[in-house]
Amino acid sequence: MERILTVAANEPIAPGVFRLLLDGAAVDDVRAPGQFFNLSVDGFYLRRPISVCDAENGRVTLIYKVVGAGTRALSEYRRGQTVSALTALGNGYDLTKSGARPLLIGGGAGVPPLYALAKALLVQGKQPQAILGFNTRTEKFLEEDFQA
């Protein structure tokens, strides 16, 4: 579904990595951890696919790395601007496949969707553990969030 969402925040959390908070009804579209949004960036024809990191309290969190001109332009979006998004794409993770202590392994752009997955598993009473990888120590993000 296409939605027009409002930027609540768009801030760096590691070198070249940004946390984008979007307000709007899109949080209701997210049905499963592991889904993604396709964002339209002004001046660019192709949309940018970005995994959902979290969706709660009317706000969706997306984390992305600046890797080209499109994500660089996205990193310049500020509070109050709007962005067109195709929301809740993909099937997400099948939570019925996990045991009582699932091991979640991801690196770089694969880390944000694991956060939503870990939260969903905790709600089910499971005890997930995560192994996160990054190119360098300075590129680490979400470490404290996973520990909490």
Model confidence pLDDT, tens digit, residues 133-148: 999 889 899 999 998 8
Model confidence pLDDT, tens digit, residues 101-125: 999 999 999 999 999 999 999 999 9
In this prediction, residue 25 carries a pLDDT of: 76
Asked if 30 contacts 56 with a C-beta cutoff of 8 angstroms, the reply is no
**Rounded Cα gap, residues 91 and 112, in angstroms:** 16
Model confidence pLDDT, tens digit, residues 45-89: 999 999 999 998 889 999 999 999 999 999 999 999 999 999 989
Of residues 106, 93, 88, 100, the one with CA closest to residue 143: 106
State whether residue 95 is helix, strand or coil.
helix
